Structure 1
């Protein structure tokens, strides 16, 4: 199927964890809420829109969040509740299409080119899905509609919260060229900063670079950056969430020293690990973080949980929590890795061997 003929919807729940907490506890409504640990070494997993006004965001150390917003209310995560609500949302999606690619508990891609309702308008489907989610859960979702996954995700971010935005095939190039590169999904803070140093500030700037130039500076990811700058994304919606390559050969010329650099650097291993879990239908109870410093000193930090890690957002939150023990950094970091062990099959069988996969990204 030609890319331009696909009809892709990206649905993203609005401040999902925080919104669930405000729904279930009326005293939290209208207040700045952070879901996460309030202790000194805690991390914000999610922030309500009232908290975001103060600059509080996910992956931020809790101590920093409290300084930005002294009235911030911390709530402990309830992942079992979030998972149950996510299942309600997934059921809504399944009424429209079997082609559902979940990214986390609160977002997913849907291919509605051919759908169970035999509707021709993807925009109308997105409207119906938003209404059905609100009726089932009491929560709002934002949706983006376009002809590929990259643009659909950009669109869902455009009018948050409770938004619906459409990028038509004739609008893709123009939409991308006006964005700052830091707004692109897949370009984190450290990569955006490096692009800015190279004189690449917007999508138009990025499009004007050759693929060879981008590969030279950003490795294999340069090909992806070149494609999305031209509004091209051929990735299909995959219900099985096939994983990327297990290993990463990306090497950066400078060591990591800041929290943003660490979280940006860890995203690759986390994404690969979660996609591996989904392909193997496997989850794990023990999470291990591997760190190698600039002088090649290597440490690991592990934590075991009473129930398996069952969501990419939860995995990211817990990995970041493990990483807070490194701050402030005594020296630069050259390598990060994450692994899961004490594995269980999601189809009910238990894997007796700890076949956790170590996924590393070099710096």
Structure 2
């Protein structure tokens, strides 16, 4: 009797059918989703479309030794949702492409998608397509997310004016602290006699902030709809670098007051326990996915009152200065140039 070839662990078309059956659904405006050569969407009039995409590579953006497949999918979706949040857009449609290594099973891919759709669920995002391929070098995950705003109503990196106030949402540095807690050295500390002196509740908070960040979609829509922000960007690479991107687009400088940086109690405690500066974590830590935005000085009371009423945390951390001033940080009355300590690929 001839030997039959064993079936591969993952079969492409059954996998695609299974993913479509479980995660795709009809939404208003979607004429045709998964099942043809391209999705068909019927746009409404007077609408701007915002399209963002991210490529995530195993070993660079995530590691299955420290993150479950659901968390990988969740964080990947939040990275794209955060891009739309910075534009003040409403997320609508999702496309996902995967290059899958032999080390993963179909069940792992379904878990990645579960994380993706859990992250997108609160905004009613519809999965409308994508692609699959084999990979010889780990999992590659590419996401394209489409959102909308009313025509000529969006937030951009340009638009900041001299004397505008600089704000951030949430707290900074948590994700980087959480990542370091997941790194091998810190895992060893947590399981050895040289245990890191950090409360379990603080560890859980920081790790969750890394694995399950929250894109500030609602906050971005509020700032856009109420016309409160003059410019905005999301904090995906770190405050020191992303502020520079905003200033370059707006052709301005900036002054950040270090004492005003919003740093959580857990991040403060981690810094003390690990011998690291919480301020440096806040300046360099990426993937907090908070919003950095600017606003006219006269909008301050309105922004802060409305934020409190909506349950949003926003903190004024500085002021836009002239381009000649540069980008500086101040503490205790002393100013110095703000170095770029954020993450950058290929460095």
| TM-score between both structures, scaled by the size of structure 2 | 0.24
| TM-score between both structures, scaled by the size of structure 1 | 0.23
Larger radius of gyration: 2
Ranked by relative contact order (alpha carbons within 8 Å, sequence separation 6 or more), the top structure is 2
